[in-house]
Structure 1
Amino acid sequence: MTLSSSSSNTTSDALAAFYDEAAQLLGDANVSRDHLTGNVKDQAGRDVYGDPFSAQDVNQPAGAVRPATVEEVQAIVKLANKHRVALWTVSRGKNLGYGGSGPVNGGVTVVLDLHRMNKIIEINEEYCYAIVEPGVSFFDLYEEIQRRELKLWPSVPAIGWGSVLGNTTDRGFGYTPNGEHSENQCGMEVVLPNGDLLRTGSGAMEDNKSWALYKGGFGPSFDGLFFQSNYGIVTKLGIQMTPAPEAYATIEIDVPREEDLVPLTATLSDLMRRSIILNSSSLANIFRIALTSRVPEVHARLAQYMKPGSFVPDDVLEEIRVEQKWGFWRSYFALYSSVEMLPGIIKTVQRAFSHIKGVNIVIREFAGEPGHYLSAPKDVGEEEIPHNGIPTIMPLGILNSRGGPGGAHTCFSPVIPPSGRELYDWYLTAKQRITDAKFDFFADFHVYPRYVVGIALVIYRLEEENGIYDLLDHLLHDGAQQGFFEYRTHVRYMDTVASKLKFNNSAHMRFATLLKDTLDPNGILSPGKSGVWNSEVVRATKALKAAAL
């Protein structure tokens, strides 16, 4: 039994009363009394709330409310406390692969949908930052930068329709030198569980000029409390961006052997620690390289195997690799510099990877001119990997690759040391698990100076959903045995990942529960987010488990 199955005290009468009062506050059009309408539309025009990649109702919400201002959020929080109605906060609800807008505790939780809060409060070109509300998407921010002709390259994730604020507070990432979004966040405004309003860091002082510049503030720092948590509702966030460079180059490095993952990863992370490479490098395996290629005959060969109960065999992938002269692994990253520096940095990169036998380096260079800063859309153009900050939704096309339209995906995303050795050992275990379950291993690894996020993306059809959950159970167990846990996870597995944090009799989760009880005694904000519940829920679940023995 999970904690979520024993956590709700909401009655149907209380829920009805909450909806009625919320409608008086927000208008009927901004209150959904079921999960069927009101969400930000997807590519197919659907506006249903919940997990778009599930045919089950485990994480299906009871309904939704859509405030447009901070004051409305505060009022909704007070209503939720009054009626003891749980709220599940989403910014735009596009956390695909991790549950979308679905809450941990389905059936009784109301989605607090913030997509109508879509103001860009400020963009500062000189200091390279923006302050945004939750409903601002990566497309919105990019398009406003282009409209003003600002010399800024904002970091965007692989799929750009999500929320800048939501992605950042869930520790998401992008591809420019400011791509670690949680590290480049500076300043928050937060509605607390009692409806009070907090500003973090320098924002604690009224009209402070450094709110989006100096994160530390004075005294205790609170920003970290609101990442992947249920201690408050972030309504404004400062995000720092990359200035447009004079010179720029994108680099792809192919290595031919599976075991070359070790020196490839080690060299990348070393160059990042030395500040030669400034942005995160992503790593693809031969399956991903083939699937995302623009070679029709390759797609046709993959399609023979990409269907329920099947996966593309290694020998077929090796034949494709040799025929197309691709690597088994491919690294994607970029270089950002002055005109004078770029040639030297390129030579350094070429020298660093020359020790890997059979390495192939492809460089696309934009040399620029001294004193002229490159325009991403005019001078570079849209890229497969958005190193220049131009958002895209093109990667969604891979969902239709496993037997036609209507596919889904999930991710297992452990954090691993960056030597390459640990990553390779984990990869071999995870690959075996995934292929044993009759799925394909799609590598979406992200290398940072001191860690790797080893995302294993798995494409599936909804009729294979139960098999996916069995697979994730195994991957979570294996990862824990190897000493790794996920940097974020699907809502179904938040309790499971949290249960692995066992140091000192689970001191981390005991402290998280203490904070929850103190800040949110009624348990109204996103119950179960990241495995954090009020103590009464924890106690009730333990009692139910004991009674079942």
Structure 2
Amino acid sequence: MDTHDSTIHNYARSELPSGDRPPRAVLYPGSTADVQTIVQLANRHQVPLHPISTGRNVGLGGAIAAQAGNVVVHLGRRMNRIIHFDDVLNYVVVEPGVTYDQLNAFLVEQGDSLMCDTTSGPPDGGPLGNTLDKGAGYTMAADHFGNSCGLEVVLGDGRILRTGDGALPGAHTWHLSKYGLGPVLDGLFLQSNYGIVTRMGIWLQARPKVIQSFFFIFPEDDDIEEIAEVARGLKLTGIVPTAIKATGDLYALASQIPYPADVGPLSDDLRKALHREHGIGSWIVSGAIYGAAESSTAKSLEIVRERFMKSGRARYIPHAEAAERPELKIHLDTYSGRPTAEETKMVEWRGGGIVSLTPATPLVGAVAKQHMQTSRRILSAHGLDTCIDYIFAGRASRGLHSILFDPRNREECARVADASRALRREYARLGYPVGRVPADAQVDEMSQRDGVFRGVIEEIKAALDPNGVLSPGRYGIASSHP
């Protein structure tokens, strides 16, 4: 158990407006057996635990707990092995500390014929933790939970659960067959505090021979309506296998240039000047086509260009040019399953503070426009810039909002907290629920769900963690722990 002041300080740090939240101590288990022992002792002595994998959940609180006074269980410090790799059935089994960088390097060593979907978040974050927080990516395997298979979990009462076919001792299909016999329990451990996941299977995808990206610059904020309409047609017909992103101007520039003013929010006139200076517009639209050869991607790319340029409002940027522009190459890397540290540089734009919100909206142009206008109105009213990256992956979009601020300015922190609450409340009123919420807002966000849903998840908590020792309040799930 580590209780040194420097350790407590490191694990207390938060990029959220609520500030730091120190734990009581930090533990570094090295095995599932260690985790089980820790949980058993926590039950015996009524000590609340807060498990983390790598603690790199940027914009959502990093390593901090929903409540103060927990003992952090840092799984990733020592539990960082790739347990199994199968290049015939294309999957790996990982512990919580395996990072995107580590897994990518491993696959490159194996011949670089397989890839794991990644995020645009920190390369030292990991796929297990991201999956459990309902993270998603950009390739054909963007659904991280959908491409996971088989969990090992230490429950809150100390028992070890192996989901799916893993419940049959010696099963060779634990990480191959997603459902197995009986209820599918894996989903219980996404955004919950019912157990500590100690291993997970990940299905890999074959690396395409050719990855041909496309980029389009749209000049005006309201062009998001046209972008969303075109993106829906390309996604639902399968023409574009990756996500299609519409990245806002300030979201793109925040990782590339110093903040261009003394105070915010940046005016529309200044934003237009930045467009001219950096060769962008209000939106940068991107995606990629996969194929066995460039000739096999040409037809799909032609269709994409025709549809996005039909109105005459868009400017096309070819793959070769995008690869030379850091603000665009970020997206090319993610469509290629390559971890990138470029986008997370945005955290320092205003001094190190960031709040991430990801509301879901139907992929309909008029809705996208309404959603964007709502976000701009509320953020502007609170004196904050609008940094949005819309990710169109199918029937719904994820609107990744990054609220960037100076954490040393307490008045600004208060405005950020108020804006976050106002956004979430307005999204709820409009019917666009937020799917990923910072640690300091999870209880408030869960309070907007109906009583039946909240009652059921609390009943499950009582069954699997009767003493409430696992991360009380995490994701807004109540705990019986005093």
Which bin holds the TM-score, normalised by the shorter protein?
over 0.9
Q: How does 1:46-65 map to 2 (within 5 A)?
A: 48-54=10-16, 59-65=21-27
Shift in CA distance, 351/55, structure 1 to aligned 2, threshold 3 Å: closer
Report the equivalent of 1:127.
89
Q: Read off the aligned partner of 1:63 and give its amino acid letter.
A: A
Q: How far has the Cα of 1:56 moved from its partner?
A: 5.4
* Equivalent residue in structure 2 for 1:457, among 402, 417, 422: 402
Cross-structure match for 1:540: none
| 1:89 aligns with one of 48, 51, 55 | 51
**Match of 1:508?**
453
Alignment partner, residue 472 of structure 2: 527
Which residue does the alignment assign to 1:146? 108
Which amino acid is 1:111 matched to? V
**Aligned match of 1:175:** 138
* 1:263 pairs with 2:195: no
2:319 is the counterpart of 1:347: no
CA distance in 1, matches of 2:6, 2:49: 17
Q: Does 1:417 align with 2:379?
A: no
1:469 correspondence with 2:417: yes
The alpha carbon displacement at 1:121 in A equals 0.9
Q: CA distance change for structure 1 residues 57 and 255 in 2, over 3 Å: closer, same or farther? A: closer
1:426 to 362, 371, 374: 371
Contact kept? 2:12, 2:20, Cα under 8 Å:
no
Which of 313, 318, 322 aligns to 2:267? It is: 313
Q: Counterpart of 1:494?
A: 442
Amino acid at match of 1:527: P
* 2:74 corresponds to: 113
TM-score (norm 2): 0.92
Corresponding residue number in structure 2 for 1:518: 463
Does residue 225 of structure 1 match 2:225?
no
Contact conserved, 1:494 with 1:529, CA < 8 A, in 2? yes
State the Cα distance separating 1:264 from its structure 2 match: 0.7
The reply on whether 1:37 has 2:7 as its aligned counterpart is: yes
Q: Is the 8 A contact 1:383 1:390 kept in 2?
A: no
Aligned to 1:164: 127
Distance in 1, matches of 2:40 and 2:297, equals 55
The whole-number CA distance in structure 1 between the counterparts of 2:129 and 2:305 is 37
**Secondary structure of the residue that 1:183 maps to in structure 2?**
coil
What amino acid is the match of 1:363?
P
Q: Give 5+ residue unaligned stretches, structure 1.
A: 1-30, 39-46, 294-298, 367-375, 377-381, 538-549
Distance in 1 separating the partners of 2:7 and 2:21: 16
Taking the aligned partners of 1:56 and 1:290, their CA distance within structure 2 comes to 26
* Offset of residue 184 of structure 1: 1.1
How far off its partner does 1:263 sit? 1.7
How do residues 336-415 of structure 1 correspond to structure 2 at under 5 angstroms? 336-339=290-293, 340-364=295-319, 383-385=329-331, 386-402=334-350, 406-415=351-360
Identity of aligned residues (%): 28
Would you say the 8 A contact 1:35–1:61 is kept in 2?
A: no
Aligned-partner residue type, residue 384 of structure 1: I
Of 476, 484, 506, the residue aligned with 2:432 is: 484
Aligned to 2:35: 73
The alpha-carbon deviation at position 535 of structure 1 amounts to: 5.5
Normalising by the residue count of structure 1, what TM-score does the alignment of the two structures yield? Answer: 0.81
For 1:412 and 1:329, the matched residues in 2 are separated by: 19
How far apart, CA to CA, are the structure 1 residues paired with 2:264 and 2:255? 19
| Residues in 2 aligned to 1:536 and 1:148: alpha-carbon distance in whole angstroms | 47
Cα offset, 1:34, TM superposition = 5.6
Q: After TM superposition, give the deviation of residue 226 of structure 1 in Å.
A: 0.5
Alignment root-mean-square deviation, CA: 2.2
Q: 1:206-248 CA deviation, whole Å, 9 max, x = no partner?
A: 2322222221111111011010111111111011222111222
The answer (yes or no) to whether the contact 1:204–1:217 under 8 Å persists in 2 is no
Q: Which runs of 5+ in 2 are unaligned?
A: none
- Which structure has more relative contact order (CA 8 Å, sep 6+)? It is 2
Q: Which amino acid aligns with 1:429?
A: T
Contact 1:35/1:50 (CA < 8 Å) preserved in 2?
A: no
Structure 2 SS opposite 1:36: helix
Match of 1:5 in 2: none
Q: Distance in 1 between matches of 2:307 and 2:391?
A: 19
Q: Judge conservation of contact 1:254–1:327 (CA < 8 Å) in 2.
A: yes
1:499-536 deviation line (CA, Å, top 9, x unaligned): 1112xxx1001000111111111000111111111357
Q: d(CA) in 2 for partners of 1:345 and 1:125?
A: 30
Distance 1:74 1:86, change over 3 A: same
Secondary structure (helix, strand or coil) at the match of 1:207 reads: coil
The 3-state SS of whatever aligns with 1:48 is helix
CA distance in 1, matches of 2:189, 2:306: 43
- Residue 187 of structure 1 aligns to a residue whose secondary structure is strand
